[in-house]
Amino acid sequence: MSAMLKEPLMSHDAVVQEAGEPDPILIAQNITKLYGERVGCKNVSFSLWPGEVLGIVGESGSGKSTLLRCLAGIDRPSGGEVMFRHGGTPISLFDIPEPTRRKLMRTEWGIVHQNPRDGLRMDVSAGGNVGERLMDRGDRHYGKIRAAALDWLTRVEIGEDRVDDRPRQFSGGMQQRLQIARVLVPEPRLVFMDEPTGGLDVSVQARLLDLLRVLVRDLGIAAVIVTHDLAVARLLTDRLMVMKDGAVVEEGLTDQVLDDPHHAYTQLLTSAVLAA
């Protein structure tokens, strides 16, 4: 047993489970996505537990966004399986009918896009963007929906006076915060984020990161965050997967991967960061 642990670079522990542990909420098994001859990602396996935040880092083109799209049910992988625990039993994401998958995506998990325009309805008011998700969930009481929407806008620090404005009248940072409120208002159990702070000013980023950190912790949601920013990964994630050319080259506890990287590529990544 101990011999195999000498170089614990990769731990394909997707199905290994310790006694007394809760069940994982998401299990990826050998996810592969090919675009013709070209490899998007290959043989990626991991398990994600409730309340756990997994970061996926790597340079552009490393396959991290491709993987995220497969995990989130947006793109069908060429091979492998994504299992999501819905109630008691895990269901295979791409074996269920499209409408069921769509409904799951709307109610059980959320996706925060890098560009808020991809996640918001730009011609609907801020309050409407948030309230709509509650209606998706089945809420019908207007007063309650409005109250919940206002509560969420406050939590993401959007003033009450902006609730009837359209997102296109918002700054980039506000749009991103609105998107986060829209995603989190139905209280999803699993959230996918693609470069959630990409394209924002550093000061706006810090604010958003703190907000995400607190929300993820307080709500106990599980999250998968794709980022190329190692500082973002360090602040937000418990665990990291490092991707290169579509494959996971190293994974483990976030601070361990960043502070004692073993793979040549991870060493390159961590040493290339300019200290701020």
Q: Which of the ranges 158-166, 181-189, 204-212, 219-227 carries the binding residues for another protein, by CB under 8 A?
A: 204-212
Residue 118 vs 157, nearer CB to another protein: 157
Per CB under 8 A, the list member of 142, 201, 259, 273 interacting with another protein is: 259
- The count of chain residues that interact with another protein, using the rule CB under 8 A, is 31
- The tokens for 268 are 């390159």
| Backbone phi, psi, residue 90, to 5° | -70, 140
- Amino acid at site 187: E
Q: How many CB atoms are located within 10 Å of the residue 135 CB?
A: 13
Per CB under 8 A, the list member of 14, 39, 96, 206 interacting with another protein is: 206
Binding to another protein (CB under 8 A) within 45-74 occurs at 49, 52
CA–CA distance, 151 with 147 (Å, rounded to integer): 6
Contact 15, 24 (CB under 8 A): no
Residue 50 vs 90, nearer CB to another protein: 50
Residue 269's H or E segment, with its range, is helix 264-271
Per CB under 8 A, the list member of 102, 103, 141, 213 interacting with another protein is: 213
Q: Which of the ranges 92-100, 106-114, 164-172, 258-266 carries the binding residues for another protein, by CB under 8 A?
A: 258-266
Using only C-alpha atoms, the chain has a radius of gyration, in whole angstroms, of: 19
Residue 148 vs 225, nearer CB to another protein: 225
**Taking the C-alpha atoms of 51, 114, 63 and 57 in order, what is their torsion angle to the nearest 10 degrees?**
-50
CA–CA distance, 15 with 90 (Å, rounded to integer): 12
Q: How many CB atoms are located within 10 Å of the residue 35 CB?
A: 9
Cβ of residue 261: shortest distance to another protein, in angstroms? 9
Count of positions (residues) in the chain: 276
Q: Give 23-92 as a DSSP string.
A: PPSEEEEEEEEEETTEEEEEEEEEEE-TT-EEEEE--TTSSHHHHHHHHTTSS--SEEEEEEEETTEEEE
Our finding on whether 231 is near another protein (CB under 8 A) is: no
Q: Which of the ranges 79-87, 88-96, 121-129, 256-264 carries the binding residues for another protein, by CB under 8 A?
A: 256-264
Q: Which of the ranges 58-66, 116-124, 168-176, 209-217 carries the binding residues for another protein, by CB under 8 A?
A: 209-217
Residue 177 vs 239, nearer CB to another protein: 239
Residue 151's H or E segment, with its range, is helix 142-155
Residue 57 vs 209, nearer CB to another protein: 209
CA–CA distance, 10 with 261 (Å, rounded to integer): 12
Q: Which of the ranges 64-72, 180-188, 189-197, 251-259 carries the binding residues for another protein, by CB under 8 A?
A: 251-259
Per CB under 8 A, the list member of 15, 122, 135, 264 interacting with another protein is: 264
Binding site for another protein (CB under 8 A): 2, 5-8, 11, 13, 18, 49, 52, 206-207, 209-210, 213, 235, 238-239, 252-256, 259-260, 262-264, 267-268, 271
